[in-house]
Amino acid sequence: MTAPAEPRAELWRLALGLVLCVVIWFGLARGIVGLLGSVMQGDAYLSLLEQLQTGTTPQSLLLVLLLTGALGVGAMMVAEMLHDRPGLSLLGPWRLFRWDFLRVTGALVVLNMAVLMLPPWDLLTSTRPGLPLDKWLLCLPATLVVVFVQTGAEEVFFRGYFQSQLAARLRHPAIWLGVPSLAFGLGHYMPGVYGDNALMVAGWSALFGLAAADLTARSGSLGPAVALHFVNNVLVFAGVSMSGEMSGLALRQWPFGPDDTADIAALLPLDLAMIGLSWLTARVALRL
């Protein structure tokens, strides 16, 4: 994935490109929200804006996730304009991307189903209802689409663009694996949402980013990283979410929110173990 990045791999281009990606992202997102304001009635629009801050309803969370797709659009535009490389090159070779994504997604679905069948079988008793089943099933196709858009966009930006451009300029793996992963963690540092847990969540995100970065480097395409991110986020957003913010699409909810320090601290080690197991499963599926 670094070959298309090498002709114009100057660090100043990368620094400028990162800024432009974020500017395009916010510009497109604000434009879409503004367009909705022109076709919605005043009270409904104000209610939607309020819900977008929390993502506690299906429609608001679907829109929040969909708007993240603008980050991927921004990265592809910057690749074309600033680096003279095809935007789709951020995915790696298309056939390899598609095949790797399908193989790893299938393997991770099997893994998570196996984990769910392991004792103790107390998921229903330790969680509370989220969306009613009929409404959840109705939303599920759209949920899968927007989660794919959201995770794909983040992977295109952090691994497809940031990592590949950095690797084309600086050859040491600790730099081009580590720096984008730390940036990914920093992007998930949200004290206003996670309170005292914010640093732990950011560290978890950085390690997740490192697993995705390693899979990208080993496979030569973005497919495995997108699959890892996609399956994880489907479980988080559509399966069992924390109560409160970003819970609008979940079938079940944990009886605690993102700012409950003790409960989050107890859950994160299990999540880290699952990331490691998922990373290993992806490597086995691809024979890497």
Q: Give the domain range for residue 268.
A: 3-286
pLDDT for 235 equals: 96
pLDDT per residue over 34-58, tens digit each?
A: 999 888 887 888 888 888 888 999 9
pLDDT for 182 equals: 97
Q: Is the pLDDT of residue 123 over 80?
A: no
Share of the chain above pLDDT 70, in %: 100
pLDDT for 1 equals: 76
Average pLDDT over residues 253-263: 87
Share of the chain above pLDDT 90, in %: 74
pLDDT per residue over 142-183, tens digit each?
A: 999 999 999 999 999 999 999 999 999 998 999 999 999 999
pLDDT for 260 equals: 86
53 vs 18 pLDDT, higher one: 18
Q: What's the whole-number average pLDDT of the chain? A: 93
Under 8 Å between Cβ of 241 and 130:
yes
What does the H/E/C string look like for the chain?
CCHHHHHHCCHHHHHHHHHHHHHHHHHHHHHHHHHHHHHCCHHHHHHHHHHHCCCCCHHHHHHHHHHHHHHHHHHHHHHHHHHCCCHHHHHCCHHHHHHHHHHHHHHHHHHHHHHHCCCCCCHHHHCEECCCHHHHHHHHHHHHHHHHHHHHHHHHHHHHHHHHHHHHHCCCHHHHHHHHHHHHHHHCCCHHHHHHHHHHHHHHHHHHHHHHHHHHHHHCCCHHHHHHHHHHHHHHHHHEECCCCCCCCCCEECCCCCCCHHHHHHHHHHHHHHHHHHHHHHHHHHCC
When pLDDT is cut at 50, 70 and 90, the band that residue 116 belongs to is: confident
| Total count of domains within the chain | 1
pLDDT for 98 equals: 96
Kindly give the interhelix angle for 198-219 and 223-234, rounded to the nearest 10 degrees.
140
